[in-house]
Amino acid sequence: MLAVAILAHLSLASGACTRDLLKGITASYLDALALGKPTTMKSLGAEGTALAYQENDVSLDISKGVLSQSVSIDFNRSIYDTTECASYTEIVSTGKHPYVIGTRLAVTSDSGKLNKIESVVCDDGDWLFNAAGSLRYNKQEVWDPIPEAKRDKREVIKAAGDAYIDAWGDSSVQPPFGKSCARLEGGSYLTGNCKLNFQPPFKVTNRRYTIDEELGAVDIFHNFPFLDKFIPRDPGTQTNNLLRVEGGQIKYIHENTVCSKKSCAK
């Protein structure tokens, strides 16, 4: 008993990343976004270290970005990755400036401080953007915690996410789609078939993962080649895909893809 207590204490002292830590920081991100006051965020970087802030793959002064705009939040959903010490949050705003924003918060587990905030910020003119549609369909999905005995391992969830993306340029890859797989792409909803293939070569690069075994979720920030006619084909525009995996099978997919200029689709 004593040994267990001491071990637990040691692992805390060395800065283990907990779900509660990530939940607290994520909640304060949401509050700051709603207030339009990034400086109110908890754990804003260790002393003397710069916090990296990016929107749509571009580095930005945090005070000049969407976090300073006071975004009314109609809906939020978050996942927590205690292994990578990161969270991913999506919000939908149907306010005066409608947005769908996906944000990955990366925390240094030793200090419990934020070290990077990166967001995919979608609004009018982005790929299939429609905040009312996003709100309606996202809200109706069920993302309850998966009972412990039924949880997929992190590797299984990650492999499902990678297979989904790898299959775009390689039709020999068969992603594990569930029967009722549904994809929320921008504000449009497609059910029953989540398969996508494009003309190869189609190489998806720059993948950053957030994985939550409790929610059966993986989010992948990455680049999407070809779609945006205003920029070079590769690596392409920024996007992210959030997947819910149940029993090894893909149930839901959410895609938010940014256009460098309005209505960029080829």
Ligand X SMILES: *[C@@H]1O[C@H](CO)[C@@H](O)[C@H](O)[C@H]1NC(C)=O
Residue ranges in contact with ligand X by CB under 6 A: 30, 34, 73, 76
Shorter beta-carbon distance to ligand X: residue 139 or 195: 139
In the complex, the smallest distance separating the C-beta of residue 35 from ligand X, rounded to whole angstroms, is 10
Shorter beta-carbon distance to ligand X: residue 33 or 204: 33
Shorter beta-carbon distance to ligand X: residue 28 or 111: 28
The 10 Å Cβ neighbour count of residue 71 is 24
Shorter beta-carbon distance to ligand X: residue 19 or 261: 19
In the complex, the smallest distance separating the C-beta of residue 258 from ligand X, rounded to whole angstroms, is 23
In the complex, the smallest distance separating the C-beta of residue 74 from ligand X, rounded to whole angstroms, is 8
Cα torsion angle, 154, 160, 165, 167, sign: positive
Amino acid, res. 108: T
Cα torsion angle, 253, 258, 263, 266, sign: negative
Those residues with Cβ within 8 angstroms of residue 192's Cβ, 6 or more apart along the chain or in another chain: 179, 180, 181, 182
In the complex, the smallest distance separating the C-beta of residue 29 from ligand X, rounded to whole angstroms, is 9
Length reported for the chain: 266
What's the rounded Cα separation, in Å, for the pair 246 and 212? Answer: 12
Shorter beta-carbon distance to ligand X: residue 74 or 228: 74
In the complex, the smallest distance separating the C-beta of residue 236 from ligand X, rounded to whole angstroms, is 31
Q: How far apart are the first and last CA of the chain?
A: 64
Shorter beta-carbon distance to ligand X: residue 77 or 251: 77
Residue ranges of E strands in the chain: 52-55, 58-59, 75-81, 86-93, 99-108, 113-122, 177-185, 188-191, 208-212, 217-224, 237-246, 249-257
Compute, in degrees rounded to 10, the torsion defined by CA atoms 63, 25, 182, 57. Answer: 30
Shorter beta-carbon distance to ligand X: residue 95 or 176: 95
In the complex, the smallest distance separating the C-beta of residue 40 from ligand X, rounded to whole angstroms, is 12
In the complex, the smallest distance separating the C-beta of residue 89 from ligand X, rounded to whole angstroms, is 9
Those residues with Cβ within 8 angstroms of residue 196's Cβ, 6 or more apart along the chain or in another chain: 167, 168
